[in-house]
Amino acid sequence: MKEYDVIVIGGGPSGLMASIAAAEHGATVLLLDKGNKLGRKLAISGGGRCNVTNRMEIQDLIAHIPGNGRFMHSPFSVFNNENIIQFFEGLGIQLKEEDRGRMFPVNDKATTVVEHLLQQVRKLGVEIRTNTTVKTINYVQDAVSEVILNHGEVLPTTCVIVATGGKSVPHTGSTGDGYPWAEKAGHTITELYPTEVPITSNEGFIREKTLQGLSLREIELTVFNPKGKKIKTHEGDMIFTHFGISGPAALRCSQYVVKALKKFQTNTITMEIDLFPQQSDEVLFQQLLSKTKAEPKKSLKNLLKGFAPERFLLFLFEKEKVDTQAPASTVPHDTLRTIIAFCKHFTFTVNGTLSIEKAFVTGGGVSIKEIEPKTMHSKKKSGLYFCGEVLDIHGYTGATTLPLLFPQGIQLENPQQNKRLSTDLQTILINRLGSINDRLDACPIRAPLLSGRHFFLLAITNYPLFSPFQGKANIQLAHFVPLL
C-alpha cells in the first residue's frame, strides 16, 4: 500500500498551488478531486479572461477583506503583486495591464492560466485522481493517519491539506465537503451564510418588475440599521432584477444585509441609492435651476433627458405625480428639489438575499481561532491543514478577478542534525497563484455589468513534507480567500 507524504483534497486553485509547492520540495503528492476535471472554475473566471492580479496597495487589499481580514496581515506584509506577475511570466504566461491596474493574460484566455498550472502539476509528478470522493480523514493519537475514499480504499499519509472550498455554487463542486471533516477533528464551524450574493426585496416596484433590467452605473448603495444609522456604503454599479438588486455594489453590501437582519431580528432592512455620490443636493439643484432658466420653454421631461436613466425618471415622475409636460420655467423649486432628493436618496426595503448556493462566496467556515495564523495548521490535529474558502475568511467581489498568492517563507528542519535551515522563499518560488472567483460566471446571475468583477483571493497554508534534505519542511504560503 503506497503512502503519500501529502494528500491534497480539492483540485481548485488552492489545491493546485498546494500540490505544486509540495511537489517542488520533494514530497510525494496525491491530489484528489471529486469532479471530472481540475481547475474548472478557474477556466471560466473573469468572463473567461482571468484577471490574475492587480497593482493595488497592501492596505487597500486588507481593506477588501471584510471577513477576518486582520488574519491576513502577515502574508500581505511579505509579498507584493509584482511577485505575482513574475511568477506567471516564469510559467511563460505574458500579462498585460488594463484599467485600474488589472492584469490579464495577453491572449485574454483563462484557460491559458489553467493549462500552465496543470502542466506544472504534471511536470512535478503529482499523482492526480479525479472522480474520486473522500469519505473521511482518520487519526491515530491526534495525528493524521489516513484518508478513506467513498468506495473504501485506504490512503495512508501523515499530512492532509483540505482545500475543498465553501458551499456556494455547488454545481461547480463547492458543496461544503470539508466542514464535516473539520468537525470530526474537533474544529468549530462558524455559521455559514451567503455573501457576495444578490439581494431580495418585496417592494411593489420589484414585484411589478417596474425597473427590472435597469442598470445604474457608479452609484452609491448604503445599508441602514433599523434606527436609520448607516451600516455600510459601497460605490459601484448595480442592476434591478425581478427579485431585488444585483451587481457589484449590491454584492458587496449583501453580507451586511444578512448580518443586520439577524442582529436586529427584523424582517426588512432599509437601503438607499445615490445616483450622484460625488455631488451634493444643493449643487444638483443649482444645475437644474440653471437649466430651467437657459431653456424655459422646454418641457420638464425633455429638460431632464440625460440627467438620469430615463426609466428611473419615469418611475420618479409617476411615483411623485410630476407634470412632465410643464414648461421648465413654471416648475416649482420644490419639484426640482423633490427630483434631486429622489435621485440622491432613493430608499427601499430589502428582506434578504438569495441562498448560499447562489452566492459567489461563502461566509463563515472553519474557525480561524483554531488555526495557527502563521502556518494554517490545525490546533486540534497534527498534520491537518486548511486552505481557501473552507476557512472563515472572505472578501469582496467587484470589477476584476484578483487571485493573489503570497508565499511567506520556507523553514526546513532536519531532525537528524537537530538544526533548522531557513531560506527566503523568493529565491525558490515566485508566488503561487490560483482563483476561487471562478464561480462567478457559473452563477445564475450573469448580467452584462458583471462582466468586469473584483475578486481578491488570499489565504495561507502550511504543511509538513519530506524535503530534499531528508528532513521535514514546513512551507508557509498564502492561499486563497475571495476579496473585493
- Tell me, yes or no, whether 95 and 59 share the same domain: yes
> Which CATH number characterizes residue 76's domain?
3.50.50.60
- The CA R_g of the chain, rounded to the nearest whole Å, is 26
CA distance 134 to 144: 15
Q: pLDDT digit string (tens) for 250-304? A: 999 999 999 999 999 999 999 999 999 999 999 999 999 999 999 999 999 999 9
- Contact 392/68 with Cβ under 8 angstroms? yes
DSSP-derived secondary structure for 29-56: EEEE-SSSSTTHHHHTGGGGT---EE--
Q: In a 3-state reduction of DSSP, which class is residue 217?
A: strand
Q: pLDDT digit string (tens) for 93-127? A: 999 998 777 789 999 998 998 899 999 999 999 99
- Tell me, yes or no, whether 341 and 367 share the same domain: no
Of 311, 332, 353, the position where a domain reaches its end is: 353
Domain that holds residue 296: 198-353
- Tell me, yes or no, whether 237 and 262 share the same domain: yes
Query: What is the structure's pLDDT at 99?
Result: 78
- The answer to whether residue 406 is domain-embedded is yes
CA 95 → CA 105, 112, 307, 483, distances in Å? 4, 11, 39, 21
- The answer to whether residue 389 is domain-embedded is yes
- Tell me, yes or no, whether 23 and 113 share the same domain: yes
- Contact 345/274 with Cβ under 8 angstroms? yes
- Contact 186/143 with Cβ under 8 angstroms? no
Query: What is the structure's pLDDT at 169?
Result: 81
* 180-194, 312-326, 454-468, range with the lowest pLDDT: 454-468
Q: pLDDT digit string (tens) for 412-423? A: 222 223 222 222
Q: What is the mean pLDDT of residues 137-165?
A: 96
- Dihedral sign of CA atoms 143, 149, 151, 156 in order: negative
Q: What is the mean pLDDT of residues 202-214?
A: 98
Please, which pLDDT band fits residue 360 given cuts at 50, 70 and 90? Answer: confident
* 10-14, 43-47, 130-134, 434-438, range with the lowest pLDDT: 434-438
Of 353, 371, 388, the position where a domain reaches its end is: 353
Please, which pLDDT band fits residue 80 given cuts at 50, 70 and 90? Answer: low
CA distance 458 to 464: 20
Of 353, 378, 393, the position where a domain reaches its end is: 353
Give burial (CB, 10 Å; 0-12/13-18/19+) of 311.
middle
Q: pLDDT digit string (tens) for 321-347? A: 999 999 999 999 999 999 999 999 999
Query: What is the structure's pLDDT at 352?
Result: 98
- Tell me, yes or no, whether 407 and 458 share the same domain: yes
Most confident of the ranges 73-87, 192-206, 430-444: 192-206
Please, which pLDDT band fits residue 474 given cuts at 50, 70 and 90? Answer: very low
* 58-72, 121-135, 359-373, range with the lowest pLDDT: 58-72
pLDDT at position 369 over 80: yes
Most confident of the ranges 207-216, 440-449, 461-470: 207-216
Tell which wins on pLDDT, 482 or 263.
263
Q: Are strands 154-156 and 29-32 parallel, antiparallel or unpaired?
A: unpaired
pLDDT at position 455 over 60: no
- Tell me, yes or no, whether 35 and 170 share the same domain: yes
How does 132-151 read in b/e, with b if 16+ C-beta sit within 10 Å?
Answer: bebeebebeeeebebbebee
Query: What is the structure's pLDDT at 77?
Result: 63
- Contact 450/102 with Cβ under 8 angstroms? no
Q: pLDDT digit string (tens) for 428-445? A: 232 333 333 343 344 433
Q: In a 3-state reduction of DSSP, which class is residue 474?
A: strand
- Tell me, yes or no, whether 22 and 135 share the same domain: yes
Query: What is the structure's pLDDT at 415?
Result: 26
* 319-323, 376-380, 470-474, range with the lowest pLDDT: 470-474
- Tell me, yes or no, whether 220 and 321 share the same domain: yes
CA distance 387 to 16: 11
Please, which pLDDT band fits residue 243 given cuts at 50, 70 and 90? Answer: very high
What ranges in 248-299 are assigned the alpha helix state H? Answer: 248-263, 281-294
